[in-house]
Amino acid sequence: MFYGSSLPRPQVYIDFQFNSDRVNSLVLLKDPFFSWARWSMGGLSFQRLCLQGRVEGNVKKRRQEIAQLRIKRTIMEKSWMRRVKKEEEEEKEDEEEEEEEIM
């Protein structure tokens, strides 16, 4: 890194014998925390999904889209029910005609 001419370069000692400020914690205290942190962040390759608990876009627009989808669904259900009733009526008529032919 470039610190400029007026700033002194910091003295960093990697070896703990020469560095009095560095305190190494015990391995037993550090490892469970790091393993939990890695797990909570999603492992080694951490990627946040776009729609992870958030609503993208305009909320009013999304509500209108949902309402339109519900209307379409009810229309389709009604037309399906009409078709089923029509088929049942046709089947009854066919059965009645067959019974008349048999007699």
Specify the pTM: 0.36
Spell out a b/e string for 48-74, using b for 16 or more CB atoms within 10 Å of the CB, else e: eeeeeeeeeeeeeeeeeeeeeeeeeee
Residue 47 has which token pair? 């990627």
In the chain, the percentage of residues whose pLDDT exceeds 70 is 50
Report the alpha-carbon distance of residue 81 to residue 84 in Å, rounded. Answer: 5
Q: Determine the pLDDT at residue 87.
A: 93
Residue with the bigger pLDDT between 97 and 20: it is 97
User: Has residue 22 got a pLDDT over 60?
Assistant: no
Report the alpha-carbon distance of residue 25 to residue 91 in Å, rounded. Answer: 82
What is the average per-residue pLDDT within 10-35?
A: 62
Report the alpha-carbon distance of residue 78 to residue 76 in Å, rounded. Answer: 5
Q: Determine the pLDDT at residue 97.
A: 84
What pLDDT, in 10s, does the model give residues 60-75? 888 899 999 999 999 9
Please, which pLDDT band fits residue 79 given cuts at 50, 70 and 90? very high
Q: How many residues would you count in the chain? A: 103
Q: What is the DSSP letter of 32?
A: H
